[in-house]
A and B are shown apart, each in its own frame.
Chain A
Amino acid sequence: MPSLNITLVSGPPGAGKTTWIRQQISSAAETAVYLNLGSGNTPNDFRRACAIDPTYLAAEVAGLTVLPVEQLTDFLAHPLAGSAVYVELGFHIDLTSLILPDQMADCQRVAVLPPGTRHTEWHGWADLVVTGVETGAVLSQPHLWRSVLSGQVLDLASLNTFWYELTHGAYGTVQRAKGIFDVADGRSLHFDFVTGLAEATYLELNLPRWLNGRPDRFSGIEVVGEALEQEAIAQTIKECCLNDQAIAYYQQQIKDSLDPGDEVA
């Protein structure tokens, strides 16, 4: 059996786990496999589970295989020879009670932590501590809220307003927010926010424009914060969504303006 090169990556929300993994994969020659434990599931399961990081990495990193959690056992039995495996652990996963399959027992453990972090459970757990980015004040009662939006198409101007409000405290203290949204012109956009970091705009995911009805691919949002007004957040997102008629109208407009060579889903 080929030996597996597995790296487990853990750390608080917003410290830069996914970014670090992306850097490792991009700088390595070998193929890579990515698995996310704890942020729900994978793009194959997008109707039920929130899969922002896997969707982002699958769209942005060439040669990366995103592995659905339910295929983990199969994969470990018949691993891809010579590929690096990165397993990202959600911040809310309890490291002490985490039970890993035997094949993963001697993997490398990496903690991505904000600068100056000391004496955390991550330090005891990790083989290697990577200095990530500042995540702002540590919340005493971090709360995770997420919602799957697959099939929804948002008005971009509304989404920008909502994102500004969300990340400036209109719905509670937000430490970390990320999302993938389908917008009216068919693009899939990745929004990413960490307290204290310079305001980043969204990234256009390397996916074909979806111009035929409601998108059959993952979109969703994940927010980590304190005293989150979940109902208001959900309601505002709902108010950013377009109805079938508007979706059809905008998609037709884009189709009419595209060149024949443009990639469309």
Chain B
Amino acid sequence: MKIAVMSCIHGNYEALNAVLSDIDDQNADKVYCLGDLVGYGPHPNAVVEMIRALDIPTCQGCWDEDIVEGLNSCECSYPSVLAEKRGKVAHDWTNQVIHPEVREYLAQLPLSLRDDNLCFVHGSPHNQHEYLMPEVDAFVAMERVLATGADILFCGHTHVPYVRSLDVGQLQIRVKLTGKSEPQNTSFSAPLKRIVNAGSVGEPRHGRPNATYVIYDNDTDQITLREVEYDYQKTCAAIIENGLPPVFAWRLSKGLEYAERADDPTHVCER
């Protein structure tokens, strides 16, 4: 069975449409979404309506939470005062245009989803705002996966797709048994775990405007990263038409994400 996983649409309806067509072309049997349906992009309502209409199981993203709860992300999650000001502009705009039923829908989204040995979250199993960067310490990464009890953890939020196999979790201990003079080496091998980041549909930060998502085939145990071209100029035009900062359109066209990431991306605000 082929399972498509996407994340971080951020109100980019054109990109979502292109990814949904690509998922169709790839004959995926199921689709999961890891949240951040809204924020920055010009079509938050249309994106949510589409996800609902197709009944795509979705977990709550950091932006979805912030739109429901009020701006929750503390300033420490912004890398600069400029990024913070831009984030606030995007938040206020989204907050103003969002329909009440869309807000209600975002409010009831679960923090994680399970499908057999697969787990789906937005940032990490601990928090929607935590970034699981590809270079995060192997033990931290392993802890995050083990916390879910799943074999593959799907996450988003960093906007850069990656697959990480955690087969380094091999532990070795030396035991000296009484009565025996030679110490015995015993190895434990944690079963192979993986973290799969689905990238971003509507706000990529890999230097190209193309949307990204992943397909997991559980028959072959194969993960495919998909990169999908779409008419990003349409989204750029809508950003400007809707009075969002024109620099958002420029950043989208360059695959730069609207606001850069925090210096310490693993930092989670305790507020």
What residues of chain A have their CB less than 8 Å away from a CB belonging to chain B? 155, 157-158, 160-162, 165, 168-171, 229, 232, 236, 239-240, 242, 246
Q: Which 3 A/B pairs are nearest by Cβ-Cβ distance?
A: A158-B82, A157-B80, A158-B80
Out of B83, B246, B254, B263, which one reaches A161, CB within 8 Å? B83
Is B49 part of the binding interface, using a Cβ–Cβ cutoff of 8 Å? no
A/B pair count, beta carbons within 8 Å: 43
B82 and A240 form a contact (CB under 8 A) = yes
B81 and A161 form a contact (CB under 8 A) = no
In the complex, what distance in Å separates the CA atom of A158 from the CA atom of B80? Answer: 5
A165 and B247 form a contact (CB under 8 A) = yes
A157 and B79 form a contact (CB under 8 A) = yes
Select from chain B the residue with minimum beta-carbon distance to A238.
Answer: B85
Shortest distance from the beta carbon of A187 to any chain B beta carbon, whole Å? 17
Chain A residues near B80 (CB, 8 Å)?
155, 157-158, 160-161, 240
B81 and A168 form a contact (CB under 8 A) = no
Chain B residues near A155 (CB, 8 Å)?
80-82
Chain A residues near B82 (CB, 8 Å)?
155, 157-158, 161-162, 236, 239-240
B85 and A232 form a contact (CB under 8 A) = no
A-B contact pairs, 8 of them (CB 8 A): A155-B80, A157-B83, A160-B80, A161-B83, A161-B260, A229-B246, A232-B246, A239-B82
| Residues of A contacting B: mostly | helix
Chain B residues near A169 (CB, 8 Å)?
250
In the complex, what distance in Å separates the CA atom of A133 from the CA atom of B166? Answer: 50
What per-residue 1/0 map shows which CB atoms of B66-81 lie under 8 Å from chain A? 0000000000000111
What residues of chain B have their CB less than 8 Å away from a CB belonging to chain A? 79-83, 85-86, 246-247, 250-251, 254, 260, 263
A158 and B254 form a contact (CB under 8 A) = no
Shortest distance from the beta carbon of A54 to any chain B beta carbon, whole Å? 28
| Residues of B contacting A: mostly | helix
Chain A residues near B254 (CB, 8 Å)?
168
B83 and A158 form a contact (CB under 8 A) = yes
Select from chain B the residue with minimum beta-carbon distance to A242.
Answer: B81
Shortest distance from the beta carbon of B203 to any chain A beta carbon, whole Å? 16
Chain B residues near A170 (CB, 8 Å)?
247, 250-251
Select from chain B the residue with minimum beta-carbon distance to A155.
Answer: B81
In the complex, what distance in Å separates the CA atom of A229 from the CA atom of B246? Answer: 11
In the complex, what distance in Å separates the CA atom of A15 from the CA atom of B260? Answer: 33
Chain B residues near A160 (CB, 8 Å)?
80
Given A158-B83, A160-B80, A161-B82, output 12 extra A-B contacts at Cβ < 8 Å.
A157-B82, A157-B263, A158-B80, A158-B81, A158-B82, A161-B80, A161-B260, A162-B82, A165-B251, A232-B246, A232-B247, A240-B81
Shortest distance from the beta carbon of A130 to any chain B beta carbon, whole Å? 36
Shortest distance from the beta carbon of B144 to any chain A beta carbon, whole Å? 27
Select from chain A the residue with minimum beta-carbon distance to B262.
Answer: A157
In the complex, what distance in Å separates the CA atom of A169 from the CA atom of B86? Answer: 19
In the complex, what distance in Å separates the CA atom of A229 from the CA atom of B245? Answer: 13
Of A161, A168, A236, A246, the most chain B CB neighbours within 10 A belong to A161
B85 and A239 form a contact (CB under 8 A) = yes
Shortest distance from the beta carbon of B248 to any chain A beta carbon, whole Å? 10
In the complex, what distance in Å separates the CA atom of A170 from the CA atom of B248? Answer: 10
Shortest distance from the beta carbon of B182 to any chain A beta carbon, whole Å? 54
In the complex, what distance in Å separates the CA atom of A158 from the CA atom of B260? Answer: 10
Chain A residues near B85 (CB, 8 Å)?
239
Shortest distance from the beta carbon of A160 to any chain B beta carbon, whole Å? 8
Chain B residues near A242 (CB, 8 Å)?
81
